[in-house]
Amino acid sequence: MECVTVILLVTLLVRGLEGRTFEIYNNHNEDVWVGTLGNNGMVAPNNGGFKLGRGERPTAFDMTTVTVPEGWGGRFWGRTGCNFDQNGNGLCETGDCGRGLSCNGAGGVPPATLVEITLKGFGGLDYYDISLVDGFNVPMSVSCRANVNGNCPSELRQSGTGGVVACKSACLAFNTD
């Protein structure tokens, strides 16, 4: 069985006039249906779900752009083994959410690997992580499109030879959990 290092890659992009934009890629040899859920009171991007066709490694990936408002918080997860009818009704073997292509406010049924994002959280900073709190179903990664060390707030900077070499998390810098 081929080892897949990246199934979904969420690339954090620069701020736009209407909020933030993420590019979500499928770098897997199987189709993946992405589930989306906003935190309480926040919109679920892309109607709560969408399909990413299989990637043809190593250079071609299916990609969807997702735009969310400033201050958004929520999660993305990969669903696998899905079968939907022409109306978008159906089930997924992993990460199912409300028996449809659109999750309609439902979270994924565990086990499912999560990408969690909070924009303008504590201290006005952005936070993101990959969580296995709901278990694991697909490998995922999150990356920034550019090196963000140059834009790191002064209180989070770690300096070294040649300037800022890292940007600490707020939890690390302020000794909070």
In this predicted model, what pLDDT tens digit does every residue of 26-58 receive, in sequence order?
988 889 999 999 999 999 999 999 999 986 555
How confident is the model over 138-161, as a mean pLDDT?
Answer: 89
Structure tokens at 110: 């565990």
Q: Binning pLDDT at 50, 70 and 90, where does residue 177 land?
A: low
Residues in CB range of 161: below 8 A, 6 or more apart: none
pLDDT attached to residue 18: 66
Residue of 82, 85, 78, 97 whose CA lies nearest to 138 = 78
The single-letter code of the amino acid at 136 is F
8-146: CATH homologous superfamily?
Thaumatin (2.60.110.10)
Residue 80 is classified by DSSP as: B
CA distance 125 to 121: 5
Rounded mean pLDDT of the chain? 86
Positive or negative, the Cα torsion across 142, 88, 59, 14? negative
| pLDDT one-digit tens code per residue, 104-124 | 999 999 999 999 999 999 888
Phi, psi of 140 (to 5 degrees): -140, 160
Residue 172 is classified by DSSP as: H
Q: Binning pLDDT at 50, 70 and 90, where does residue 61 land?
A: confident
CA distance 64 to 75: 15
79 in Cβ contact with 85 (< 8 Å): no
Q: Which of 23-27, 141-145, 162-166 has the least mean pLDDT?
A: 141-145
Residues in CB range of 176: below 8 A, 6 or more apart: 122, 170
Percentage of the chain exceeding pLDDT 70: 86
Sequence ranges of the domains in the chain: 8-146, 148-177
CA distance 42 to 24: 19
How confident is the model over 131-141, as a mean pLDDT?
Answer: 95
Higher pLDDT, 71 or 12: 71
Strand partners, 76: 36, 115
CA distance 175 to 137: 32
Strand partners, 127: 118
